Amino acid sequence: MSPQKCKLIELPKILDHRGNLTFMESSRHIPFEIKRVYYLYDVPGGALRGGHAHLNLSQFIIAASGSFTVHTDNVHQKEDFYLNRSYYGLYIPTMTWREIDNFSSGSVCLVLASEFYDADDYIRDYDEFKQIASKSKK
């Protein structure tokens, strides 16, 4: 079974001279039911966030403000995504290693998650991730 791929998804954008509006809905624009939302901000220059994979959780990442780069790896394919538009989001399926860096000043990284927080769902060691992912993708 081949692994799911990360993909950019364009969100609805309503243009208005007073300011634009973008919205998203569970299972309509986001390919899962949203169970948790969090955001990263005030990330110091040169910092790396992420550095893990999830066994069961999928994510949808949006550059709500500013920009950053998301590096993904599902063992079969590595891809880099530069997020800098608040009406695009990056879907990251389960068993995908992700690292986020290159944060612009004042950036906000908004993350929608398919599951509630569970420390046991994290794989924080890259070599362990590669072993688990290689076995589960056969």
pLDDT at 129 over 70: yes
Is residue 5 in some structural domain?
no
Of 17, 29, 52, 71, the active-site residue reads 52
pLDDT class for 135, splitting at 50, 70, 90? confident
Q: Confirm whether 4 is domain-assigned.
A: no
HSE (CB half, 13 Å, CA atoms) of 30? 23
The string of pLDDT tens digits covering residues 36-92 is: 999 999 999 889 999 999 999 999 999 999 999 999 999 999 999 999 999 999 999
Q: Does residue 72 belong to any structural domain of this protein? A: yes
Number of domains present in the structure of the chain:
1
Q: Is residue 108 part of a domain?
A: yes
Confidence of residue 137 (pLDDT cuts 50, 70, 90): low
Tokens of 96: 């995908």
∠ CA 23-26-27 to the nearest 5 degrees?
Answer: 120
Q: How much is the pTM?
A: 0.92
Is the Cα torsion angle 7, 98, 89, 117 positive or negative in sign? positive
The CATH number of residue 116's host domain is 2.60.120.10
Residue 1 pLDDT > 90, yes or no?
no
Query: What percentage of the chain exceeds 90 in pLDDT?
Result: 89
Q: Domain range spanning residue 30? A: 11-136
* 3: confidence class by pLDDT, cuts 50, 70, 90: low
Mean pLDDT across the chain: 94
| Cβ 12 vs Cβ 18: under 8 Å | no
54 belongs to the catalytic site: no
Burial environment of residue 49 by CB neighbours within 10 A (0 to 12, 13 to 18, 19 or more): middle
Classify residue 45: in a domain, yes or no. Answer: yes
Q: Mention every residue, 6+ apart, whose C-beta is less than 8 A from residue 114.
A: 32, 33, 34, 35, 56, 57, 58, 59
DSSP 136: H
Is residue 2's pLDDT more than 60?
Answer: no
Amino acid (1-letter code) at residue 108: V
Residue 130 resides in a domain = yes
Could you report the per-residue pLDDT of 12-33, keeping only the tens digit for each?
A: 999 999 999 999 999 899 999 9
For residue 99, tell me if it sits in a domain: yes
